[in-house]
Structure 1
Amino acid sequence: MHELMVVLSDAGGGEGELSWQERSLCAQTDPEAFFPEKGGSTREAKKVCVGCEVRAECLEYALANDERFGIWGGLSERERRKLKKRAV
């Protein structure tokens, strides 16, 4: 099971308010696009992320939890690693 699916299945929304994971566009999309094979295209996943209302929360989660695989907040693992290096 992909990490994103695990996160989404563990997501507990507050009373009457959906968690950011439940509001994410990727939750309504094929998860395979967000975990491409090595060297595979990230284009489709990133297109979904551009229009997502919780993109910032997703990226924040990935950075805080050192997610090493998949597209999170519209960035690949390599892009997130570069972002973290610049922040240090």
Structure 2
Amino acid sequence: MANLKRLPMPLLETYEWQFDGACMGLDSAVFFSPDAERGAAKALREAGAKAVCATCPVIDQCREHALNAREPYGVWGGLTVDERAQLVRTAKAG
């Protein structure tokens, strides 16, 4: 579960960057895995999500949000759950 204490106040100005996301209007299944997804299917879905993120004008804000909130699911800011966890571990170690 996301750490809600890390989230900013629920103000429109705080989250309005999301309206400019390349993911806006896409099916969330592109970014979030179905139950028990593994292997090649997971890698393919994540690659597709990352391709969308690569075109996104707000990728930096999205990534920052996901790292700050410790989003536990999905591709955010072009990073998978495992990639975000690795960044957090590296930051703590450094």
TM-score using structure 2 length: 0.72
- Residue equivalent to 1:6: none
1:29, distance to aligned residue in structure 2 (A): 1.7
Structure 1: unaligned runs, 5 residues or longer: 4-9
Q: Which has the higher contact order (CA 8 A, sep 6+)?
A: 2
Give me the whole-angstrom Cα distance separating, in 2, the residues matched to 1:79 and 1:57. 16
Give SS of 1:28's match. coil
Deviations along 1:34-66, one digit per CA (max 9) or x if unpaired, are 002332231111000001010010010011111
- Residue equivalent to 1:62: 66
- Is 2:81 the partner of 1:84? no
Aligned length: 77
Structure 1 runs of 4+ with >3 Å offset: none
- Is 2:34 the partner of 1:30? no
TM-score using structure 1 length: 0.76
Give me the whole-angstrom Cα distance separating, in 2, the residues matched to 1:13 and 1:28. 20
Residue type of the partner of 1:21? Q
Query: Percentage identity across aligned positions?
Result: 34
Give me the whole-angstrom Cα distance separating, in 2, the residues matched to 1:47 and 1:33. 10
Give me the whole-angstrom Cα distance separating, in 1, the residues matched to 2:26 and 2:13. 19
Matched ranges for 1:32-51 at <5 A: 32-37=29-34, 38-39=37-38, 40=42, 41-51=45-55
User: Which stretch of structure 1 is more off in the superposition, 43-52 or 25-34?
Assistant: 25-34
